[in-house]
Amino acid sequence: MPDADYKVTPRRGQYSTGAPFHEIDNFPMSDSQRDVVIAGGGIVGLATAYQITNKYPGMKVTILEKESELGIHQTGSNSGVIHSGIYYKPGSLKARNCHEGRAMMEQFCKEEGIAYDICGKVIVAVNEAEVERLMNIYDRGQQNGVRCEVIERERLCEIEPHTAGIKAIWVPDAGIVSYRDVALRLAEKLIQRGGQVVNNALVQGVQRDGTEVVVQTTVGEFRGAYMINCTGLFCDRVAKKTGERPESKVVPFRGEYYDLKPESYHLCNNLIYPVPDPQFPFLGVHFTRMIDGRFECGPNAVLAFAREGYRKRDVNLKDLAEALAYKGFRRMALRHWKKGMGEMWRSFSKKAFVKALQRLVPSVTEDDLVRGRAGVRAQLLGTDGSLIDDFIILSSPRIINVCNAPSPAATSSLKIGKTIVEHLSQQVDA
């Protein structure tokens, strides 16, 4: 197996979660007048705060987080992969932000002593029908400046001996990290720079008041010269509170995982991905080594019955009714109903889930797996049923809305934060 460069990682089984949240939430509630108020304490909001204080060291920045902890939703529930940017349309915000953001994330982790591992990944074609699509991905990677190479089965077996592929792309710059560790470190640095983190602060209303933006929350009112919306799963609803009228809506999709049992860790070395199905707008199940030494297998992609519906029994009637009533979802469901039913069946059938995994690693069995965690993806859908695939950042006087930041937003977060600061600077420096 190739040696990984830029490697900073604990021994298998060790894992650092960073400072507990209660240790960094240490600012008085009376200090509610700030220069910039950021709604959302996930990695995009925190990275934005970090980049603001890099460019404007004297600015006072407040993070408003509706939960009692930072980064517990998409930031803490994702796969922890440092993406290379190979999949994304050349020239898109995703492609540009991911390519540069990956390098920035590595550098930040290296400087801050955060465990990460640039272990590389393989994208595997398991039959001749997938080879053409594999080569299209390779071409995209080349256009995006991603370091990658097409490898034959012999080389693939050196990297991942249990994989069934006939051809693959080797992407040496892909890696793994705990993005919640990154988020907590960003919060610490914000506080060191005079910033503020306020938890349990659900945004209830937003108003412009002359040269200020007033943000009403469950813990009081916060005023700032500028407001930035980085609320992830609720970005469309908060955007409406700011006066935007986005046509597209967030529809939550739950991704469920199985964990490899420790005695089956030998089945995978690092990251094994399939060639994406062009008829289905998600990557498909894959094998992922986590920075704590575990291995996750998945995810599927099923409609969540709540925007924070991590369990099958989690139902929010408002969220569900809104999703089902949205014509964009109905059109998507009609277009992909067969695939959608398959994804739903895998949610209930371990046997079906394992069968999907066996396309990549034939020797994996039901006995190798135990039920793992789940995450929820904030997927923005257009009215025509299409997935809005690119990042969307909307600027209006004194308010910036991050209306779409799906994967690879965590990888790209520091670059996304820098991009948001560019939008902010157009108003600050005007």
User: Looking at the structure, do residues 283 and 257 belong to the same domain, yes or no?
Assistant: yes
- 212 in a structural domain: yes
- Is 172 inside any structural domain? no
Q: How many structural domains compose the chain?
A: 2
* Per-residue pLDDT at 258: 98
User: What is residue 30's predicted lDDT score, i.e. its pLDDT?
Assistant: 41
Asked if residue 142 belongs to a domain, the reply is: no
Sign of torsion, CA 404 408 410 411?
A: negative
Q: Average per-residue pLDDT in the chain?
A: 91
Enclosing domain of residue 218: 21-75+180-247+390-428
pTM of the model: 0.91
Do 195 and 333 reside in the same domain of the chain?
no
Q: What is the CATH number of the domain that holds 196?
A: 3.50.50.60
**Domain membership flag for residue 205:** yes
pLDDT at position 156: 98
Residues of the chain with pLDDT below 70 are 1-33, 279-281
Q: Give the CATH number of the domain where residue 344 resides.
A: 3.30.9
CB atoms within 10 A of CB 81: 23
User: Residue 80: inside a domain, yes or no?
Assistant: no
The reported pLDDT for the residue numbered 280 is 66
59/194 same-domain check: yes
Quick one: pLDDT at residue 277?
79
